[in-house]
Amino acid sequence: MLNDNGPEQPDKLAAALAKAQAEIKDARKDSENTFTKSRYADLTAVWDAIRKPLTDQGLSVTQTFGSDEGGLFLCTTLWHSSGQSLTSVMSLSFFGVKDAHTLGSACTYARRYSLAALVGCAPEGEDDDGNAVQVHSKKRKPPAKRKAPATVEPIVPSTREKAEAIVAEVSGAPEYLTGKGVDIANLPPGVADRIVGLGADGLKESIQKAAKKAAEATAKKIIEEADKVEPIKEEAA
């Protein structure tokens, strides 16, 4: 966390954030992670929970990307109308970015986690950590040998986020899907599954086949219309 105000303490920003946090509600878990079979609060849900409380207190947020010798990073800055600000920097190196697909997912995840952490927004739902501690405290057991630390599972993009990254990569995909009546701003689960199953190359092939089919249909129609035109009869000399 970086204090962007030099020797001056961000007192106005801190006071405004305290008031905003009193009004910030839990972010709704309205998206599903098909990999872990669990629901989570996506970036839109976090913004829905914090936008009005922050605005009412003269606070705003910007998120920008940069790079250095350590790789790509995200800067999330909380601004106050007085000009005071506070910045959080998150490296994207631990997301294992390899291509455009993983880059898009990593950016979305980083923006969501950094934004929620900076303003103090938590997802809705019960936190069972306390219950787990209580259960263990009631049933004390003799000290056991230490186990190796559990492996931290990597953050896995949701199917919808993967599909959005593929659509953004493939030229003509937004127009193709919109023409089929698909809301690309909110991909239905079935459509997202289909896009991820096809992959970028498969989606390109589907678009090309559809374009070829449309062209053939247009040509056939032109020929049919031409056949309906009666030939011009030559007058006898």
Same structural domain, 25 and 91: yes
Q: In degrees, to the nearest 5, what angle opens at C-alpha 185 toward C-alphas 181 and 186?
A: 80
Total structural domains in the chain?
Answer: 2
Q: Is the pLDDT of residue 21 over 80?
A: yes
| Angle of helix 11-23 versus helix 100-119 axis, rounded to 10 | 100
Unique residue bearing structure tokens 């449309």:
214
Same structural domain, 111 and 176: no
d(CA 51, CA 62): 12
Q: What is the pLDDT of residue 98?
A: 67
Look at phi and psi of residue 181 and say left if phi exceeds 0, alpha if psi is from -120 to 50, else beta: left
Same structural domain, 96 and 8: yes
Most confident of 20-24, 168-172, 221-225: 20-24
pLDDT digits (tens, 9 = 90+) for 92-122: 777 666 677 777 778 888 888 888 888 888 7
Same structural domain, 8 and 111: yes
The model's confidence at residue 199, banded by pLDDT at 50, 70 and 90, is confident
Report if pTM > 0.85.
no
d(CA 39, CA 134): 25
Q: What is the residue range of 29's domain?
A: 2-123
Q: Is residue 105 part of a domain?
A: yes
The more confidently predicted of residues 43 and 39 is: 43
Same structural domain, 104 and 180: no
Dihedral over alpha carbons 31, 34, 38, 41 (to 10 degrees): -20
DSSP state of 121: -
Q: Is residue 73 part of a domain?
A: yes
- The residue count of the chain comes to 237
Asked whether the beta carbons of 74 and 114 are under 8 A apart, the reply is yes
Same structural domain, 8 and 119: yes
Same structural domain, 119 and 6: yes
The more confidently predicted of residues 39 and 47 is: 47
Same structural domain, 24 and 76: yes
Strand runs (DSSP E) across the chain, as ranges?
A: 2-3, 31-33, 38-40, 59-68, 71-80, 85-91
